[in-house]
Amino acid sequence: MPHDLPPDGELTVFTLGGFGEIVAGADLASLIAAAVDSRLIDGDILAITSKIVSKAEGRQRAATDREQAITDETVRVVATRAHPGGVTRIVQNRQGLIMAAAGVDTSNTPDGVVLLLPVDPDASARALCTALRARTGLRLGVVITDTAGRPWRDGQTDIAIGAAGLAVLDDLRGTADASGRRLDVTAAAVADEIAGAADLVKGKTSGNPVAVVRGLAHLVGDMTLAGASALQRPSETDMFRLGTNEAHDEGYAEGYAAGRAAALTEDAFD
Amino acid sequence: MPHDLPPDGELTVFTLGGFGEIVAGADLASLIAAAVDSRLIDGDILAITSKIVSKAEGRQRAATDREQAITDETVRVVATRAHPGGVTRIVQNRQGLIMAAAGVDTSNTPDGVVLLLPVDPDASARALCTALRARTGLRLGVVITDTAGRPWRDGQTDIAIGAAGLAVLDDLRGTADASGRRLDVTAAAVADEIAGAADLVKGKTSGNPVAVVRGLAHLVGDMTLAGASALQRPSETDMFRLGTNEAHDEGYAEGYAAGRAAALTEDAFD
């Protein structure tokens, strides 16, 4: 397994600068290949902000349709919270990701439009990775990143919403630690850590939508490796599949009906 | 604000190698300073695996006391799940962190003991950062890292459980995006992204407990900056403060009592 090799001890992340405004139909692989020039080496991973992928794929709607766009992208409502400006909806979207506003994005977008996430970010990553490998002759990986909030911790981190050509999970389960003891439950979500590392350099406002992550060649492998959707925990096994208030409300309604029925049954036997 | 400056466009992360076995009472700052030799430069951030801090602080208990140690470290049970080997407890611990097994760790530990997290990881980070700054004369940051699972996504990532001398949150709220539009809800949890980037290099089994993160000098500031506890979302405002099943059960019990009472009241008026 390529990802069982140790890291080579140094990680470097650098950006490629801006690409100008990306329009629908843009050939992102060509633009990236041109920007990266001859700076790539074998084993590099490209971390690409989903926003430019969405723009190239024409995934935009009128800003006035924002609420409807969120509804249309929603598969399952996970939690909602009212606030003075409206209602924040945390939902599972068509891509399987749990995100505020279904990942519909209004920052760094052209005037008057909102951006939707790519329809299938793993497919987008595979297409980009295949094209970039063909162009450069190098063994490369591609991670498509987006910014997401998370339970329990303030602030957002970038995560991998699409990936190709690399191990997204560095599965150490069953291997031994430095003392020879089994590491039972350790599987590092390396694609998410790569997305976060790239965000540290790309930033949010800098017009740097692509970063090269170098030093993780041991994670780069063939194009059949699982994409970032493999990092999505199925909601059936997710201990936090619903918001606390939503789960409480569901339980209350079920309990109320059951309690009422039980009392009436008792009464019938009085 | 130091963290409003743009990144300098390149991030480098490298490890310092092993430190041998760390014993209780070890002077970690001296060991790290010796290992890092003259390789540090102004603005570097040291990402230090919590395990060696725990060892130096003598935070260990007999492995046979593991379950009791988890109970003792627990402030609030968030979710539990039975499995063939026992019960996994996701809890909020004394440090305020929500973690499986309260962060009590059995891998990479000496035989026969389990490690508890440092009592106050931010205080540990401040002590280490102060000592390392005094020794080197450099403006440095320190992040103490640990591995944590998260809702919704498979695999673990390293997060910052302690921090000193750097902005843990790169708060862009109120600033403008590249189009001049306000970035309303963006505050990057940079300390967590730094912990994750360091994990990519340190790994879990490599005996590399310390990484130097270079290129984020804009985040490094004075020693009064908030620690990593500032990244903990207060449970009162956390939409996922309880597991789905636990919240459902609480709601069911309340609803059952209310439904029963309502039925009996109705009955009284029959």
How high is the pLDDT of residue B2? Answer: 37
Residue A177, pLDDT above cutoff 70? no
Token pair belonging to A236: 């059936």
Position A2 in a domain: no
Residue A27 sits in a domain of what CATH number? Answer: 3.30.1330.100
Position A5 in a domain: no
Same domain, B93 and B163: no
How high is the pLDDT of residue A7? Answer: 46
Among the residue ranges A137-141, A160-164, B84-88, B179-183, the one predicted with the least confidence is B179-183
Position B6 in a domain: no
Name chain B contacts of A192, Cβ cutoff 8 Å: 153, 155, 157, 196
How high is the pLDDT of residue A182? Answer: 52
Token pair belonging to B179: 């189009």
Do the beta carbons of residue B220 and residue B165 sit within 8 Å?
Answer: yes
Name chain A contacts of B231, Cβ cutoff 8 Å: 153-155
CB contact under 8 Å between B183 and A193, yes or no, is no
Residue reference for tokens 């068509």: A94
Confidence of residue A18 (pLDDT cuts 50, 70, 90): confident
How far B210 CA lies from chain A's nearest CA (Å)? 11
CB contact under 8 Å between A155 and B169, yes or no, is yes
The residue from B51, B73, B106 where one domain ends is B106
Say what the pTM is. Answer: 0.93
Mean pLDDT over the full length of chain A: 90
Q: Domain tally for chain B?
A: 3
> Residue B154: in which H helix or E strand, if any?
strand B153-164
Residue reference for tokens 């963006």: B186
Name chain B contacts of A239, Cβ cutoff 8 Å: 79, 81, 90, 151, 243-245
Classify residue A266 as left (phi > 0), alpha (psi -120 to 50) or beta: alpha
Same domain, A176 and A269: no
Position B55 in a domain: yes
Q: pLDDT higher for B204 or A198?
A: A198
Residues 6+ apart with CB under 8 A from B184: A107, B173
How many CB pairs below 8 A link A and B? 346
Same domain, A163 and A198: yes
Name chain B contacts of A159, Cβ cutoff 8 Å: 153
Position A77 in a domain: yes
ipTM of the complex: 0.93
Position B27 in a domain: yes
Confidence of residue A157 (pLDDT cuts 50, 70, 90): very high
Most distant pair of Cα atoms in chain B: their distance: 87
How high is the pLDDT of residue B174? Answer: 62
Angle between helices B244-268 and A244-268 (to 10 degrees): 40
> Residue B128: in which H helix or E strand, if any?
helix B121-136
CA distance B114 to B108: 9
The residue from B50, B83, B106 where one domain ends is B106
Q: Who among B147, B189, B255 is closest to A155 (CB)?
A: B189
Do the beta carbons of residue A51 and residue A116 sit within 8 Å?
Answer: no
Residue A264, pLDDT above cutoff 70? yes
Same domain, B89 and B201: no
How far A185 CA lies from chain B's nearest CA (Å)? 9
Q: Who among B152, B196, B252 is closest to A255 (CB)?
A: B252
Sign of the four-CA dihedral B132, B73, B191, A216: positive
How high is the pLDDT of residue A176? Answer: 63
Same domain, B150 and B217: yes
Helices (H), chain A: 28-36, 50-56, 66-73, 121-136, 190-202, 244-268
Same domain, A77 and A179: no
Query: Strand runs (DSSP E) across chain A, as ranges?
Result: 10-15, 45-49, 60-62, 74-83, 86-93, 98-100, 113-115, 141-150, 153-164, 170-171, 187-188, 210-214
Domain holding B16, by residue range, is 12-59+117-232
List C-alpha distances in Å: B128 to A118, A239, B147.
Answer: 44, 36, 20
Position A7 in a domain: no
| Closest of A101, A41, A97, A92 to residue A69, by C-alpha | A101
Give me the residues of B, 180-209, that contact A with CB < 8 A.
181-190, 192-194, 196-197, 199-201, 203-208
Residues 6+ apart with CB under 8 A from B61: B69, B113, B114, B116
Residues 6+ apart with CB under 8 A from A83: none
Helices (H), A109-229: 121-136, 190-202
Name chain B contacts of A150, Cβ cutoff 8 Å: 150-152
Same domain, B54 and B70: no
- What integer is the mean pLDDT of A192-199? 98
| Closest of B92, B87, B60 to residue B74, by C-alpha | B92
How high is the pLDDT of residue A204? Answer: 64
Same domain, B69 and B169: no
Position A6 in a domain: no
Same domain, A189 and A98: no
- Whether the CB of A2 is below 8 Å from some CB of chain B: the reply is no
Do the beta carbons of residue A228 and residue A123 sit within 8 Å?
Answer: no
| A98-100 and B74-83 strand pairing | unpaired
Do the beta carbons of residue B13 and residue B211 sit within 8 Å?
Answer: yes
Same domain, A81 and A192: no
Secondary structure (3-state) at B4: helix
Same domain, B98 and B18: no
- Mutate which: A5, A99, A202, A239, vs B, most B CBs within 10 A: A239
How high is the pLDDT of residue A19? Answer: 81
- Whether the CB of A119 is below 8 Å from some CB of chain B: the reply is no
| Closest of A188, A138, A152 to residue A167, by C-alpha | A188
Q: What is the dihedral of CA A63, A68, A70, A74, to 10 degrees?
A: -160
Same domain, B127 and B224: yes
How high is the pLDDT of residue A143? Answer: 98
The terminus-to-terminus CA distance of chain A in angstroms comes to: 69
CA distance A45 to B47: 22
Do the beta carbons of residue A212 and residue A40 sit within 8 Å?
Answer: yes
CA distance B74 to B10: 40
- What integer is the mean pLDDT of A162-179? 80
Q: Who among A10, A14, A255 is closest to B251 (CB)?
A: A255
CB atoms < 10 A from the CB of B18, how many? 14
Give the pLDDT means over successive 10-residue stretches in chain B (270 positions). Answer: 49 88 93 88 97 96 94 97 89 97 84 94 98 96 97 97 97 64 73 98 81 96 97 96 97 97 80
Do the beta carbons of residue A160 and residue A145 sit within 8 Å?
Answer: yes
